[in-house]
């Protein structure tokens, strides 16, 4: 099953770095492979690519179907992002990852920073 990760634009995460970090981490890679996929612009800004970076896709996570496994994936995303912030940006935001079921059965993992 495929999972998309929705990262807030103001969280300042470089998607390419995150994808590379995820795939280089054995535990994460065992859960799913991360890829960056384009997201079609929904507006007419002068440079859509700068406004909205690509969408992170976790693919090939067939072995993690089911509630418990989904929780494992959410935890992995949260841990990886927390680690990313600590290493790259020297900050430790309180992150939350929620799964939103999409039409067709796929999941969107929505990352938010707790106030």
Partner 1 sequence: MAHITIRQRDPQPDGANACLAFDHGEEYPIAVTDPFTEEEEARLEWYFKEHFRFPFTRQVRAQKAAESVTAYGEALFKQVFVDPDPDAYARYKAALQSGVENLVFEIAGAPDFHALHWEALKDPKLPQPLALQAPVVRRNLTPQTVRAHVRPSPTINLLVVTARPGGARDVGYRTISRPLVEGLRQAGVPVRVEILRPGTYRALVDHLEAIQEAHGTGHYHVVHFDVHGALLTYEQFQKGAQADRFLFQARYGRDDIEPYDGLKAFLSLEGAQEGQSDPVEAQELADLLVNHQVPIVVLNACQSGKQVRPEPGDALAETRETSLGSRLMSAGVQMVLAMGYSVTVTAAELLMTTLYEQLFAGQDLAAAIRRARLELYNRKGRRAYFNQTVDLEDWLLPVVYQNREQRLQTRDFTPQERAAYYERQGRRYRPPAVTYGFVGRDLDVLNVERRLLTRRNVLLIRGMGGAGKTTLLHHLAAWWQTTGFVDRVCYFGYDERAWTRQQIVVAVAKELMGEAEYTAVFQPLGLEAQQALLAQRLCATRHLLILDNLESITGSHLAIQNTLPEDERQRLHALLTELAGGRTLVLLGSRGGEEWLAPATFDDNIYDLPGLDPEAASTLADLILERHGATQYREDEDVQRLLDLLDGYPLPMEVVLANLARQTPTEVLAALQAGDEAIDMRSESKTESILRCIDYSHSNLSPDAQQLLTCLAPFTSVVYLGALEQYTEKLRAQPTLAHLPFDRWQEVLQEAADWGLLSPHPQAQGYLRLQPILPYFLRSRLAAPGQAEVKQAIETGFRQLYDQMGRDVAGLLTSLEAQ
Q: Are 50 and 43 in contact (CB under 8 A)?
A: no
Closer to partner 1 by CB, 90 or 104: give it. 104
Q: Whole-angstrom Cα distance, residue 86 to residue 76?
A: 15
Cβ at position 45, least distance to partner 1 in Å: 5
> Segment contacting partner 1 (CB under 8 A): 17-25, 41-49, 70-78, 83-91?
41-49
Q: Whole-angstrom Cα distance, residue 59 to residue 4?
A: 9
In sign, the C-alpha dihedral spanning 38, 97, 103, 32 is positive
Is residue 67 within the footprint of partner 1 (CB under 8 A)? no
Question: Where does this chain bind partner 1 (CB under 8 A)?
Answer: 4, 6, 8-10, 38-52, 55, 100, 102-105, 108, 110, 112
């Amino acid at each position: 099953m495929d999972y998309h990760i929705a990262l807030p634009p103001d969280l300042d995460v470089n998607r390419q770095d995150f994808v590379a970090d995820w795939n280089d981490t054995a535990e994460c890679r065992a859960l799913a492979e991360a890829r960056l996929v384009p997201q079609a612009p929904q507006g007419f800004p002068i440079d859509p690519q700068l406004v909205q970076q690509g969408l992170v896709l976790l693919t090939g996570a067939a072995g993690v179907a089911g509630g418990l496994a989904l929780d494992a994936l959410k935890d992995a995303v949260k841990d990886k992002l927390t680690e990313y912030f600590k290493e790259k940006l020297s900050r430790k935001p309180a992150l939350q990852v929620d799964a939103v079921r999409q039409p067709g059965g796929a999941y969107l993992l929505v990352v938010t920073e707790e106030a």
